[in-house]
Amino acid sequence: MATVYLGLGTNIGNRKENLTRAIEALSLALGPCTAQSSFIETAPWGFDSDNPFLNCAVAFETELTPLLLLDTTEKVERELGRTTKSSGGVYHDRVIDIDILLYGSAIVETPRLTIPHPLMHLRNFVLEPLAEIAPHTIHPKTGKSIEQLKTELGCSKMVKKD
């Protein structure tokens, strides 16, 4: 079994309901959620939008391989109404986004999937909620804890929306 950490975000529709439904769907597919952060509101990252995001981090224990986990998260996104994925650094509003942040201490680099998430250490909307549920977890590439990465990025306390 591997402990996996996922980052969830939404900025259209009923954002709290979108996150809740995603966690419920993931729990049906993966088993019980073992940890969940608060919901935090953040500005869009990497694109302009009038719609702020609601983000959280969740943890699960899974026996799925990383690629099967990716298939599962993408299926949940489609079931919840996501029709397109961001690609090539072009981001847009979305009903749900599920990112695989960490898969145990694994490093995965395939054309379809990179773990740890390649931008997680640059995103306060990832590090803030992840540090709430896994502050001492070590990023397998940097060797630093999530709390250390958050401190280095200078994350400011975000607005919780629970």
Write out the catalytic residue numbers. 82, 94, 97, 99
* Residue 81, Ramachandran bin (φ over 0: left; ψ between -120 and 50: alpha; else beta): left
Question: Residue 32 corresponds to which tokens in the numbers above?
Answer: 């019980």
For 9, list phi and psi in degrees, rounded to 5: -150, 150
